[in-house]
Amino acid sequence: MFVLDCTGSMQGEIDAIKDAIISFADSIKSDGVRARVGLIEFRDRLINEEHQVLKFNGEIFTSDPAMFRNEVGKLKASGGGDEPESSLDAILLALRQPFSNTASKVIVLVTDASPHIPDLETKSIDQVVQAIRDVNIQQLYLVIPTQDANCHIYLKLLEAARGLAFELGQGDDFRKRAEDFKRTLMSLGKTISQATR
């Protein structure tokens, strides 16, 4: 389940997911892992921007990368106001989605902003760590600005599940960030499939 920041600064990453998702899915499949993917888009609930769970023919998850790409292609980066954003509330929403009981549960957070603490639902980072444990998420990946001290709070989430933090990429050049992010997605696909086998 991708948990994707869709605020105004994230169009490059939205485009990169759309462009790379078929290769991402193929790389997982080539390692013998069957994958279903879903996506929650988030912005800032404190300024009335509610999360959206993408649907694929009415379903939360799809094993069809082309259908996933088509739906992601409809996303537009907008809003968000100033940092921080409602990323932790979005993770709590992701934890409530209908993961298969027999599947490895994987969450990938993609954001360039620090989290609201507190938010409408999240009271503390420890609450989110415990919720991840309670749902038994096996893998958690953070694609964040790792050099930004305000985003280091996310690293605490890795106490709850096996995972890694990847560098989102810096600067205001959308095309360069998008290319960096595509490479990150391919690395992530390999990491997920190796950890799932």
pLDDT at 111: 93
CA-based end-to-end distance of the chain: 18
Locate tokens 């960096």: which residue?
A: 180
pLDDT at 189: 85
Q: What is the CATH number of the domain that holds 166?
A: 3.40.50.410
For every one of its 197 residues, what pLDDT tens digit does the chain have, with 9 covering 90 and above? 999 999 988 888 888 888 887 788 777 777 788 889 999 999 999 999 999 999 999 999 999 888 988 898 898 989 988 889 999 999 999 999 999 989 899 999 999 999 999 999 999 999 999 999 999 999 999 999 999 999 999 999 999 999 999 988 766 666 777 778 888 888 888 888 888 87
Domain that holds residue 165: 2-196
Collect all residues with Cβ–Cβ distance below 8 Å to 39 and sequence separation of at least 6: 1, 2, 3, 4, 17, 53, 54, 68, 71, 72
Do 161 and 138 form a contact (C-beta atoms < 8 A)?
yes
Number of domains in the chain: 1
C-alpha radius of gyration, the chain, whole number: 15
